C-alpha cells in the first residue's frame, strides 16, 4: 500500500509503515503542510494514496464524494474525549450506554480505529 500521513500526525508513522513493507510519505515532506483539506484531495487521489489522518469529520465528508479511492485510515488517539470517541467508535454507542466504565474499557481495547473504504466497495474496520 501507498500511504500519505496527514500533518496532524507524527512523522514517525511513515517509518512504521515502511518497516512493514509499505510506501509512505508525510504531508510536511511533500511541501503540503498548511494546505486545506480539499486542496489535498486531488493530490491524494491522483497519486493513489491511502490517506492517514485523525481528522475524521472533514475527510469523511470529502471521501464520501469520491466514488473510487485508495482508502482512508482514521487514527483515533487513546486520550480522545468520550464525546469524540462516540462519534468514531467501532462499537455501537447504544451498546455502550450502560455505564461510563464500558467506555473506558472500549477505549483501552480499541486504541485505534482504522476505517477503510477501498475502491468504492463497502468498508471495514481493523
The model's pLDDT over 20-72, given as tens digits with 9 standing for 90+, comes to 999 999 999 999 999 999 999 999 999 999 999 999 999 999 999 999 999 99
> Which residues have C-beta within 8 Å of that of residue 66, sequence separation ≥ 6?
41, 45, 120
Q: What is the pLDDT of residue 50?
A: 97
pLDDT of residue 122 exceeding 50, the answer is: no
Per DSSP, which regions of the chain are E strands?
2-5, 23-26, 50-53, 72-74, 115-116, 124-125
Q: Tens digits of per-residue pLDDT, 97-117?
A: 443 444 344 444 334 444 444
Strand 115-116 to strand 124-125: parallel, antiparallel, or no bridges (unpaired)? antiparallel
Amino acid at each position: 500500500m501507498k500511504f500519505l500521513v496527514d500533518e496532524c500526525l507524527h512523522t514517525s508513522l511513515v517509518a512504521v509503515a515502511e518497516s512493514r513493507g509499505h510506501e509512505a510519505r508525510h504531508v510536511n515532506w511533500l511541501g503540503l503542510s498548511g494546505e486545506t483539506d480539499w486542496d489535498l484531495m486531488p493530490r491524494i487521489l491522483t497519486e493513489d494514496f491511502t490517506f492517514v489522518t485523525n481528522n475524521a469529520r472533514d475527510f469523511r465528508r470529502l471521501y464520501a464524494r469520491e466514488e473510487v479511492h485508495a482508502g482512508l485510515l482514521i487514527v483515533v488517539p487513546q486520550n480522545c474525549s468520550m464525546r469524540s470517541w462516540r462519534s468514531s467508535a467501532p462499537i455501537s454507542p447504544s451498546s455502550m450506554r450502560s455505564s461510563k466504565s464500558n467506555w473506558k474499557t472500549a477505549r483501552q481495547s480499541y486504541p485505534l480505529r482504522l476505517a477503510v473504504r477501498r475502491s468504492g466497495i463497502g468498508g471495514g474496520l481493523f
